[in-house]
Amino acid sequence: MDDFFSRDITLLTGSDKAQLLKHELNIHTYEDLLRHYPFRYEDRNNLSTIAALTPATPGVQLNGYIKSLQKVDKGKKRLVALFEDHTGQLELIWFHNFSWIIKKIKPNVQYRIWGKPVFSPQGQKQLIHPEICFLFGNQVEKTQLLPIYHSTERLKRNQLDAKGIVCLQRKLLSQLGATVEETLPQYLLTRYKLLSLKEAFKNIHFPGNQTLLKQAQRRLKFEELFYVQLKLLKARQVRVEKQNGKIFNNVSLLNLFYHNYLPFHLTNGQKETIKAIYRDLSSGKQMNRLLQGDVGSGKTIVAFLSMLVVIASKAQVAIMAPTEVLAKQHFERFHLFAGQLNLNIALLTGSTKKKEREHILYRLKVGILHIIVGTHALLSDDVSFNELGFFVIDEQHRFGVAQRAGLLTKNPVYAPHMLIMTATPIPRTLAMTFYGDLDISTIYELPSGRQSIQTQHYYENARLKVFHFISGQLLLGRQIYIVYPLIEASAALDYNDLMAGYTSVCRAFPDIPIGIMHGKMDSASKDIEMKRFEKNETRILVTTTVIEVGVNVPNATVMVIESAERFGLSQLHQLRGRVGRGNAQSYCILMTDYRLSKVGKERIETMVKTNNGFEIAELDLRLRGPGDLMGLQQSGVLNLKIADLSKDGAILEAACRLAKDIIQQDPEFQHPDNLPIYKEYTRLLAVAGGWNRIG
Ligand code: ADP
Ligand code: MG
């Protein structure tokens, strides 16, 4: 690519403005400015009438005549013009710079004006500082879609408001000339019917019409997503080539367990996943696989069965969970299975006693232990294996990339195979983007015979009814969770709510043992509370979201969520997943305030309507956007300038398929036709900070 793109913005704007643009909008080069796309457009093709204006009307365009002009000196100095069309009158008002307007404006000549209507306290319709243009007879000036750019207060004070940026863009585009080098090969432009880059730049900033705007957007989104995918897939390819995996293909233990001890029939999703994992383990390439499956879809047994393939070849396996509670649960389940196969297993957490810990580390080191279950404690430096062949990370969203890498180094000879599991379903578009370097398996169905959880929504006035319902469930011997929001920003108030809630529950159920658990308690006390609830010593647990991950108390059948409107959708779904773990019908009760925002209402309605985590994740993506959803606002991956992962799924799929094809057919982009890809890919990698520059 020639250096037009990389020219310093100073050349265009002079140094003062350049400083501001760099500082405020992270615009350093010509390309940065070209790719500072409008965030919306004002359609100047639509004419409105004065009679039709309401306080809710956004910017409007009107045709009409100026009937009078008057300078007002009383109060704030201003110029007021009376403007009239065939439906009524309104006032145009200027507070400064009006001498040239007085000179220019003539009565009874037709004008086209543009502005955002406001209503005075007396109900008078007004336009403050409207834009005016003169109409020659009936000939209307060529109308257009006006680009609106993000700006900042500081920029606005320095003539770089939206309009100022429009001027810069015009100037820059006029210099574009023939210098825009295509970033996509001609054959792809033809195949996908895409505008050239130059046409796309022109039309994204100054669209000829709606159709051209759509085409420009599509072209730029496609290009953006294509290169993101290309980068991810390339990274995967490099990794796969580099990391030869150890071949594990001994299915003897797996078959033994499968035919003799497996306590249930696997679902199709489980079977498919195990097959995919087996293919990876026996492929000679190192496995990096993400397993997504809703709460209760049975991921654990998939992990266990896969482990058996590795253990049968005398290598060791590890499973790491984000909390001690969860690690213990895995351990108990695996311990039972391991016993049936005469395998040695141990649990290692932060609270493992010193002596026992030493014993475990020794047995791990010399290879006596086949399976180790644990928390972060597994990552500690003194934990070493005889031969770690395979590890599983459960509830991956609780861990960072560093933890993955930490376990990878536990085998100095070869990279162990890796399986990452998550019960937080991620919409496809996000999975493709965030985990583009992983292979993905998804279990969509739950084991048969599960009763689906019934979800209901109540307002405060139904509290008695809810308590009555809880009594009924208590009489049946069941247990109840009551969850309160506890959000950092309002922690003190929330804490009061929690305590008040606890008091009122105690009053309502005086004969029932009730526990309370929250983040302010130390982990030993939390542990004690959790155990009491697990053992059914407490029947109701009043708590905050500390119980969110993995807790399994099958006898709990009711999840009451207080102030449910304050939780995010995924979180509500995770909380709901704490019930419905036994054979009895379970319930989720969402209590909310009477006043619900539109989004709040939509969230609650969704929860009532569906139990499907993937559906919920898709909606969550639409409501919150990808940044919030992944908790990664600042992530380089999300630094998309034009594509929107919540809306552009179809373009992403196409771009991803294309990237895959190209990497397969021409991995080094050596074919002459792919020269533009080679150049752009190399350029993007080289651009300082490039993709990962934080916006
Ligand atoms: P998650 O995917 O949420 O980790 P688990 O692996 O904890 O789910 O499984 C939830 C429960 O379902 C466990 O008690 C497990 O034994 C049981 N389970 C798993 N697979 C099946 C199956 N195919 N049929 C019946 N029960 C199953
Ligand atoms: Mg699980």
Does 563 or 406 have the greater pLDDT score? 563
Atom of ligand 1 nearest to the CA of 295: 3
Atom 18 of ligand 1, nearest CA residue: 298
Between helix 197-205 and helix 162-174 the angle, nearest 10°, is: 150
Q: Ligand 2: distance of its center to the CA of 432 in Å?
A: 22
Q: Is the CB of 299 under 6 A from ligand 1?
A: yes
Report the CATH number at residue 72: 2.40.50.140
- In this structure, the residue with its CA closest to atom 26 of ligand 1 is 447
Ligand 2 centroid distance, CA of 394 (Å): 7
**Are 460 and 434 within one domain?**
no
| H-helix or E-strand spanning residue 481 | strand 479-483
649 lines ligand 1 (CB under 6 A): no
- What's the angle, vertex CA 368, arms to CA 363 and CA 373, rounded to 5? 70
Q: Which ligand 1 atom sits nearest the alpha carbon of residue 329? A: 7
For residue 465, what are the CA distances in angstroms to 471, 472, 508, 555? 10, 11, 12, 22
CATH code of 378's domain: 3.40.50.300
What domain range is 87 assigned to?
46-143
**pLDDT over 70 at 305, yes or no:** yes
**Nearest ligand, CA of residue 552?**
1
Locate tokens 């990370």: which residue?
393
203 and 122, same domain (yes or no): no
Are residues 481 and 526 both part of a single domain?
A: yes
Is residue 138 very low, low, confident or very high in pLDDT (cuts 50, 70, 90)?
Answer: very low
Query: Which ligand 1 atom lies nearest to the CA of residue 270?
Result: 23
Indicate if 343 and 418 belong to the same structural domain.
yes
pLDDT at 629: 57
Same domain? For 466 and 556 the reply is yes
pLDDT at 688 over 50: no
The dihedral built from the CA positions of residue 203, 205, 210 and 214, taken in this order, carries a sign that is positive
At which of 420, 443, 466 does a domain end? Answer: 443
pLDDT score of 398: 59
For residue 300 and ligand 1, the question of a CB distance below 6 A is answered with: yes
Q: Is the CB of 554 under 6 A from ligand 1?
A: no
Give 192's DSSP letter.
T
Does the beta carbon of 301 sit less than 6 angstroms from any atom of ligand 1?
yes
The model's pTM: 0.68
Mean pLDDT of 68-88: 88
Indicate the SS3 state at residue 694.
coil
Cα–Cα–Cα angle for 73, 79, 80, nearest 5°? 110
Last residue of a domain, one of 377, 408, 443: 443
What pLDDT score does 2 carry?
A: 53
Band (pLDDT 50/70/90 cuts) for residue 140 is very low
- Determine the atom of ligand 1 nearest the C-alpha atom of 267: 23
Instruction: Tell me, using a 6 A CB cutoff, whether residue 333 lines ligand 1.
Output: no
For range 279-296, the mean pLDDT: 90
Helix segments in 148-251, DSSP class H: 153-157, 162-174, 186-191, 197-205, 210-242
**Is residue 474 pLDDT above 70, yes or no?**
yes
Is the same domain home to 507 and 541? yes
More reliable by pLDDT, 163 or 454: 454
Query: In this structure, are 311 and 342 located in the same domain?
Result: yes
Please, are residues 384 and 410 in contact by the beta-carbon 8 Å criterion? yes
**Is the CB of 267 inside a 6 Å radius of any atom of ligand 1?**
yes
Task: Tell me the CA–centroid distance for residue 247 and ligand 2, in Å.
Answer: 27
Would you say residue 28 has pLDDT above 60? yes
Indicate whether 493 and 606 sit together in one domain: yes
Closest CA to 592 of 457, 466, 463: 457
494 in the same domain as 427:
no
Residue 33 lies in a domain: no
Stretch 130-148: mean pLDDT: 63
Q: Would the CB of 423 count as within 6 Å of ligand 1?
A: yes
pLDDT at 134 over 70: no
Assigned token pair, 662? 């190209």
- Determine the distance separating the centroid of ligand 2 and the alpha carbon of 630, expressed in angstroms: 19
pLDDT band at 47 (very low <50, low <70, confident <90, very high): confident
- pLDDT at position 491, please? 80
User: If DSSP states are collapsed to H, E and C, what string results for 235-303?
Assistant: HHHHHHHHCECCCCCCCHHHHHHHHHCCCCCCCHHHHHHHHHHHHHHCCCECCEEEEEECCCCCHHHHH
In a domain, 133, yes or no: yes
Measure the CA–CA gap between 64 and 81, rounded to whole angstroms.
Answer: 12
The reply to whether ligand 1 has any atom less than 6 angstroms from the CB of 574 is no
Q: What is the mean pLDDT of the chain?
A: 87
Q: 3-state class of 139 per DSSP? A: strand
* Protein residue closest via CA to atom 5 of ligand 1: 298
Domain count, the chain: 4
Mean pLDDT to the nearest integer, 256-281: 96
Question: Which token pair is 547?
Answer: 């119980």
Q: What ligand 1 atom has the least distance to the C-alpha of 449?
A: 25
Query: What is the distance in A from the centroid of ligand 2 to the CA of 38?
Result: 44
Tell me which ligand sits closest to the C-alpha of residue 297.
1
Q: pLDDT confidence of 135, banded at 50, 70, 90?
A: low
* Any ligand 1 atom below 6 A from CB of 266: yes
Distances (CA, A) of 191 to 214, 679, 681: 17, 20, 20
List, for residues 205-252, the tens digit of each pLDDT value. Answer: 999 888 999 999 999 999 999 998 898 888 777 776 767 789 999 999
Q: Tell me how far the alpha carbon of residue 427 lies from the centroid of ligand 2, in angstroms.
A: 19
Torsion of CA 398, 402, 404, 409, to 10 degrees: -150
- Cβ distance 417 to 287 under 8 Å? yes
What is the per-residue pLDDT across 106-124, written as a single tens digit (0 to 9) for each? Answer: 887 888 888 888 888 888 8
- Is pLDDT of 521 > 90? no
> 167 vs 360, which has greater pLDDT?
360
So what's the pLDDT on residue 626? 66
- Tell me if 447 CB under 6 Å of ligand 1: yes
For ligand 1, whether the C-beta of 271 sits within 6 Å is: no
* Candidate from 258, 264, 268 with most ligand 1 atoms within 8 A of CB, to mutate: 264
Is residue 166 situated within a structural domain? Answer: no
**pLDDT 10s digits, 397-407:** 656 666 777 88
Whether 436 and 470 share a structural domain: no
Centre of ligand 2 from the C-alpha of residue 431, in Å: 19
pLDDT at 690: 41
Lowest mean pLDDT segment, chosen from 427-436, 567-576, 646-655: 427-436
Cβ of 590 closer than 6 Å to ligand 1, yes or no, is no
Portion of the chain with pLDDT greater than 70, in percent:
92
Question: Do 587 and 694 share a domain, yes or no?
Answer: no
Q: Is residue 329 part of a domain?
A: yes
What pLDDT score does 623 carry? 80
Q: Within a 10 A sphere around the Cβ of 396, how many other Cβ atoms?
A: 24
Q: What is the mean pLDDT of residues 86-96?
A: 89
Residue 64 confidence (pLDDT) above 50: yes
State CA 249 to chain mean position distance. 37
Specify the range with the lowest mean pLDDT, choosing from 20-29, 160-169, 250-259, 534-543.
160-169
Ligand that comes closest to the CA of residue 271: 1
Domain's final residue, options 410, 443, 476: 443
Q: What is the per-residue pLDDT for 33?
A: 95
Residue 607: pLDDT over 90:
yes
**Mutation to probe ligand 1, out of 300, 336, 446 (largest number of atoms < 8 A from CB):** 300
pLDDT at residue 689 in the model: 47
State whether the beta carbon of 297 lies less than 6 angstroms from ligand 1: yes
For ligand 1, what atom is nearest to the CA of residue 302? 6
Q: Reply yes or no on whether the pLDDT at 448 is more than 50.
A: yes
DSSP secondary-structure letter at 29? B
Residue 41: band (very low, low, confident or very high) from pLDDT cuts 50, 70, 90 = confident
Residue 693 has pLDDT above 50, yes or no: no
Phi, psi of 276 (to 5 degrees): -65, -40
Contacts of 666-675 with CB under 8 Å at 24 or more apart are 667/237, 673/185, 673/186, 673/187, 674/185, 675/185
451 Cα to the center of ligand 1, angstroms: 13
Which one is predicted more confidently, 530 or 560? 560
334 close to 345: Cβ distance less than 8 angstroms: yes
Ligand 1 center to 97 CA (angstroms): 73
Rounded CA separation 7/402 (Å): 37
Does 549 fall in a domain? Answer: yes
Do 348 and 368 fall within a single domain?
A: yes
396 lines ligand 1 (CB under 6 A): no
Higher pLDDT, 295 or 14: 14
Residue 691 has pLDDT above 60, yes or no: no
Distance CA 543, CA 515 (A): 8
Average pLDDT over residues 459-488: 93
Q: Which residue has the higher pLDDT, 655 or 436?
A: 655
Within a domain: 172: no
Higher pLDDT, 90 or 324: 90
Strands 479-483 and 540-543: parallel
pLDDT tier, 1 (very low <50, low <70, confident <90, very high otherwise): very low
Most confident range, picked from 43-57, 366-380, 410-424: 366-380
Position 628 scores a pLDDT of 61
The preferred substitution site among 290, 297, 551 for testing ligand 1, maximizing ligand atoms within 8 Å of CB, is 297
Alpha carbon of 378 to ligand 2 centroid (Å): 18
pLDDT at res. 235: 79
Q: For 342-395, what is each residue's pLDDT tens digit? A: 999 999 999 999 999 999 999 999 999 999 999 999 999 999 999 999 999 997
> How far apart are alpha carbons 627 and 612 in whole angstroms?
22
Residue 360, classified by CB atoms within 10 Å of its CB into exposed (0-12), middle (13-18) or buried (19+), is: buried
Is residue 368 situated within a structural domain? yes
Whether 498 is in a domain gets the answer yes
Once rounded to an integer, what is the mean pLDDT over residues 519-525?
82
